[in-house]
Amino acid sequence: MGPAPLLRAESLTKIFRSGEEQVVVFEDVTFEIQPGELVAVVGESGAGKTTLLHMLAALDTPTAGEVYFNGQRVSEFDAGRRAKYRNRQIGFVWQMHYLLPEFSALENVMLPQLIGGQGFEASEARARQLLSEVGLAEAASRRAGELSGGEQQRVALARALANQPSLLLADEPTGSLDHRTASRVIDLLKQLHHSHGLTSIIATHSLELAQRADRTLRLAGGSLL
């Protein structure tokens, strides 16, 4: 027997109902993610990549099927446990970075820690260390809204790692960046994945990013290939 999977999706199905119509996003999707893996999820727009990430993060519930985290059914988590799971175990990076533009880069990275109950000094020290890791030590006091797209995405990566998550979920993290900037962000993602001992799942259109993952899951026509 190998190590137990960190994450397991079992027969996941998502159907949206609108009046009489029903739209099957995907059905009967099953896979396992081992600790330390970097997995790319690819597929056309509308294939359900974002929906799948939302389910893994307990931001959305499947119509049928189950997500297991460390062998535990995510559907059985109560509201408090779900919030803890998202805040402590998962780091998120979205295509739109969702930084607070009026706040400094440093404050943006401190925020998840403060929300999680970490003290101010410890939060600031960790935020400075993470900004240094993503090459933005000098930009700590600059407002997030004044940074370039690539810099903002690097701050978002630092923020995602603020609470030392075991799992990184990234949704099109290079989707709004030009090729050169995207390439740098991919390098950084791989570097952080290894240095922080993460398990990472990245939904992407980027062939370059998918090729650099340990393996690729493809969503197409409502099922997993």
Q: What is the pLDDT of residue 44?
A: 86
Contact partners, residue 58, CB within 8 Å, separation at least 6: 67, 74, 77, 82, 85, 86
**What is the pLDDT at residue 1?**
56
User: Which pLDDT score, from 0 to 100, does residue 130 have?
Assistant: 97
- Please state, as a whole number, how many other Cβ atoms lie within 10 Å of the Cβ of residue 46: 11
The residue ranges of DSSP E strands in 36-134, in sequence order, are 38-42, 64-69, 72-73, 90-93
φ, ψ for residue 151, nearest 5 deg: -65, -40
Closest by CA to 51, choosing from 16, 83, 90, 86, is 16
Q: Which pLDDT value is given to residue 177?
A: 84
Residue 207's Cα: distance from chain center in Å? 18
CA–CA separation, 87 vs 114, rounded Å? Answer: 11
CB within 8 A of 144, min separation 6: which ones?
Answer: 97, 99, 100, 101, 102, 103, 104, 105, 108, 152, 155
**Domains with residue ranges and CATH for the chain:** 7-224 (3.40.50.300)
CA angle 51, 88, 137 (to 5 degrees): 100
Angle between the 105-115 and 120-133 helix axes, to the nearest 10 degrees? 130
Measured distance CA(142)–CA(207) in Å, rounded? 33
CA 136 distance to own-chain centroid: 21
Q: What is the CA radius of gyration of the chain?
A: 18
Residuewise pLDDT in 10s, the chain (225 residues): 567 899 999 999 999 888 889 988 999 999 999 999 999 999 888 889 999 999 999 999 999 999 999 999 999 999 999 988 988 899 999 877 789 999 999 999 999 999 888 999 999 999 999 999 999 999 999 999 999 999 999 999 999 999 999 999 999 988 888 889 889 889 999 999 999 999 999 999 888 889 999 999 999 988 988
